[in-house]
Amino acid sequence: MIHHASTSRFRNILYILTVGAFLLFLCSEHLNSFTNYTYIYTTNGDGDTNSLNTTSQNFEQEMPDYASEPVPPPLSPEELEIQKYSPYCPPDRCAHGHWVPRVPPFQTYEEADRWINVYHKDGLDPGLRLPDPEPEPVPVSGVRITEEQKKDRYLEMSNWVWESEFGKVVPFDAEELVVRLLKSAGGLFLVGDSLTIHWLYTVHHRIYQAGLKLEEYHEGPLQYEGLAPQYRLDMNHPPCQELVQRAGIPLERAYRPILTHIVAQSLVTPDELKKIFRADWAYVHHHHYFTVNNWEVALAELTKEVDGERARGVNEDSLVVVSNGAHWSRVRLRGYVEETTDYEGFRRRIEHGYSEMIKVVMGNLAPLPHTTLFFRSISPGHPLCPQFPVPFSSMHDAEDWSLQPGHEKPDPEEWDWDMFPERNDKWRQAIRKYEESRLESSDGLWNGRGNKWIYLDFWSMDFQRIDAHTGYWDCLHYALPFEHNQWTDMLFHRLVVESRLTERDMESLDY
């Protein structure tokens, strides 16, 4: 029994020793081969530790060549500008885009009219109606547009809204606009011709729709001017009182105007026209230009600081927007310029005079105290506008249409509508050069060197709206309030985003 156990134990020990010897043999072969592989990889078999063997080199060459991620190019100045204002559009680019259908659309004339005329923040009827800016004259044919046709056109025009390509437009807020105007010495001045007075109508109307009330102002340097309506808040109206408190301004400021229109069809006086065109000093022109006498002098009085108010909250710039259009034309200026058989020479003198007029206007307004100055781009006329019930789908389509024979000139063509783009460009270039000169200094400051001028470029937006003119007989003026409201929206957008950028820059200086 004992012998059998010893034999079994010996057999087990022998088995274990045999297996262990076999495993040791295998391990020694494996270790030797790994050592040899490592040696070859690191020394190439000859002790050279700085080179790879041929096998390794071939292996590296056969690896796929993955390109590294390319470094993006730096942003262009235009892209940086868009990024700076995102998600809103840069103010100079908001009027680049296209008109899109309103969603949901107005289904009836009455629905559109309630939105335009009766809409009120508190659901009330403000009691105001926008006027027909240019009533249709009796046509030679004796055939007039019916009331039903007018309502259909009104409904069609109401169902389009502007969409900028470069970001959102800040939603218009009439109360915020009024607060901004109260915080300046003079508020908003709109200077120009009939298209400008139509703009005033719509601004006035939107303030009423916000639940505020305005009253006429008959004091100061423009009190006897029938061509210069002025409006201030009705301080007997509780919402106006609340808004003044919110603005944080002296009560005396609230009793002065916030909204003024000044008629100046050519933007210069008859004497300045004589000087521009070198006409005889005794010459009396056949056409009377409606112009408020010495309106630049009145502006200087209305925009100056009153009783130290800048230190008490009235510390924003007054806003002056000027524009002119078809009154500067061969029809209106014939006489200042002697008409000859040299047709092109006659036109060149008219356009040279326009360039000189720009210099006069900019020079007259630059010294105004605490004021930002704007030129609103001349609004286009559209020959054959009755043929278009909807806007152009894009600026490209609008330009293609305008290049067709007969589409760029009015009837009569002496109104010079085809020169509007060139005149707009004259203003754009003059303002650019003025601003470059104004800002030339070692520290970049401009205080005391003249007021800031800004070119309000609405041309692309307006040019696409061939359908929105006043009537079948008038392809220059626009029906209220569609295009005019867009001008206000764009101006308000500029004020808001520039103010926010200034606040952001000031906050960054605190850190």
pTM greater than the 0.85 cutoff: no
Q: Which residue has the tokens 């047709």?
A: 343
Indicate the residue type of 182.
L
Structure tokens at 259: 């909204």
What is the tally of helices (H) and strands (E) in the chain? 17, 11
The helix (run of H) or strand (run of E) holding residue 34 is helix 2-43
List phi, psi (to 5°) of 324: -155, 165
Residues 6+ positions from 204 with CB-CB distance below 8 Å: 214, 231, 259
Cα gap 27→33, rounded to integer Å: 10
The helix (run of H) or strand (run of E) holding residue 459 is helix 459-463
pLDDT for 68 equals 61
54-66: b (≥16 Cβ within 10 Å) or e: eeeeeeeeeeeee
Confidence of residue 15 (pLDDT cuts 50, 70, 90): low
SS3 334: strand
Beta strand pairing call for 318-322 and 188-192: parallel
Task: Using a pLDDT cut of 90, give the percent of the chain over it.
Answer: 60
CA 340, chain centre distance (Å):
42
pLDDT at 177 over 80: yes
DSSP letter (8 states) at residue 220: G
Task: Using a pLDDT cut of 70, give the percent of the chain over it.
Answer: 80
pLDDT in tens, 76-111: 877 787 888 989 999 999 999 999 999 999 999 999
pLDDT in tens, 178-224: 999 999 999 999 999 999 999 999 999 999 999 999 999 999 999 99
Long-range contacts of 63-68 (CB under 8 A, 24+ apart): none
